[in-house]
Amino acid sequence: MISAEQNDLMTRVGAGTPAGTLLRHYWQPVALSEELEGPRPLKAVQLMGQHYVLFRDESGRLGLVDRDCPHRGADLAYGRLENGGLRCAFHGWLFDTSGQCLETPAEPAGSKLCTRIRQGAYPVTEKSGVVFAYVGEGEPPAFPEFDCFVAPDSHTFAFKGLWECNWLQALEVGMDPAHASFLHRFYEDEDTAESYGKQFRGASADSDLAITRVLREYDRPDITVEHAPYGMKLTTLRKLSEEQTHVRVTNVVFPQAFVIPMSTEMTISQWHVPVDDTHCYWYAIFTSFTGPVDKAQMREQRLQTIELPLYTSRKNKRNEYGYSVEEQLTQTYTGMGQDINVHDQWACESMGAIQDRTREHLGSTDKGIAMYRRMLVQAIEDAQAGLALPAHPTAQEAVALSGPPSIDGVASADAVASYCEKADRARRQSSGWASTRLVA
């Protein structure tokens, strides 16, 4: 258990808070590229309790600016996209993507007022269908050359969803390998050939063993956690027999993402981004090592449970997450359908808007969560002291950060220790885009 003061330290993210200051030192996903499609490429954004406007000008340049006009505070989210920028609908003041005021049309002819006005503006960039922003002080870190960022656009797919809970409890579900044997337990194994785009429904690599069966029948995993240059690496072993062991390697990318295997051909890189203290978005980039991603199918699958335009869940606490007694007795452990995102959403939201960690009792399978919290608190303290931060690479350091390897497969008992490295390399060697990046 931790104190209420420690819990607040880790979870509160508003301007000036210790955790909020730390997170502002990292790139944050703020929108999907698809949200800027259509006749008016503009979107209001709330990030860590602050309000911004994201837009694309006529030349295709992205801008992220504070939402309140510096003239008299009117809402720039209702502005006009024209003449190289965003024009406030109140008095016509015009701002470009850098925040510079270009025109103050109601002022007297010859007025130089606009040259002295600059709106708060922040660096933005697009990576694999996600718009990232940096809203902190100083220079942003370089992007590591992770698979999700360097794979061709044809081999990635991005999506997101809104959860009604604090970012930290949402993130922590991704560093908890044990929960999958229960929360995501299915009592029947589907045809693994029909598992495209679905988490925990395919077969483990180097076997024809359904992952659902592994999770269901081997529910006492051996978990090891170690520090890595990008954050943490978790290795979860489930002994299937004297000859075979199931190996699952997942990663936490500090401060708030994880990289996990989705199937033998895809990985998922997922961020949990605070909207405010009690809401967060998950942003996921699915990366394929085989053929191009079927984006239409992936999108259609996710729209079965996610509703636009706010990417809210169709199954939520207001309709009991679709809970069915009959289903819970015969099909799934939760009775909340086949989508594991709904299972995770229920688990995290059921803890309360901000989990009261003074009442929890961690077990041995929570070692990843315990290690991450220590890292988080230390980084918060370092940020307050102006010290170097973890996973905050320079451009030179970012080149060395690849992968990170994320594997779900079955190894022979004598090859467990080396399985992840060998399986990951074999997958890359057979991949058109990843093989070109291999070092001999």
Q: What is the pLDDT along the chain (440 residues), one digit of tens a residue?
A: 799 999 999 999 999 999 999 999 999 999 999 999 999 999 999 999 999 999 999 999 999 999 999 999 999 999 999 999 999 999 999 999 999 999 999 999 999 999 999 999 999 999 999 999 999 999 999 999 999 999 999 999 999 999 999 999 999 999 999 999 999 999 998 887 777 888 877 788 888 888 999 999 999 999 999 999 999 999 999 999 999 999 999 999 999 999 999 988 999 999 999 999 999 999 999 999 999 999 999 999 999 999 999 999 999 999 999 999 999 999 999 999 999 999 999 999 999 999 999 999 999 999 999 999 999 999 999 999 999 999 999 999 999 999 999 999 999 999 999 999 999 999 999 999 999 988 75
Cβ-count burial 178-210 (b if 16+ within 10 Å, e if not)? bbbbebbbbeeeeebeebebbbbbbbbbbbebb
Round to whole Å and give the CA distance between 276 and 280.
7
Report the length, in residues, of the chain: 440
Sign of CA dihedral 32, 349, 269, 142: positive
Torsion, Cα 144 150 151 156, to 10 degrees, reads: 60
Question: Quick one: pLDDT at residue 440?
Answer: 59
The pTM (predicted TM-score) of the whole model is: 0.95
CA-nearest of 409, 408, 411 to 244 is 411
170 and 272 Cβ atoms separated by less than 8 Å: yes
One-letter amino acid for residue 415 of the chain: A
221 and 237 Cβ atoms separated by less than 8 Å: yes
155: number of CA atoms within 13 Å, CB side? 18
Rg (CA), the chain: 23
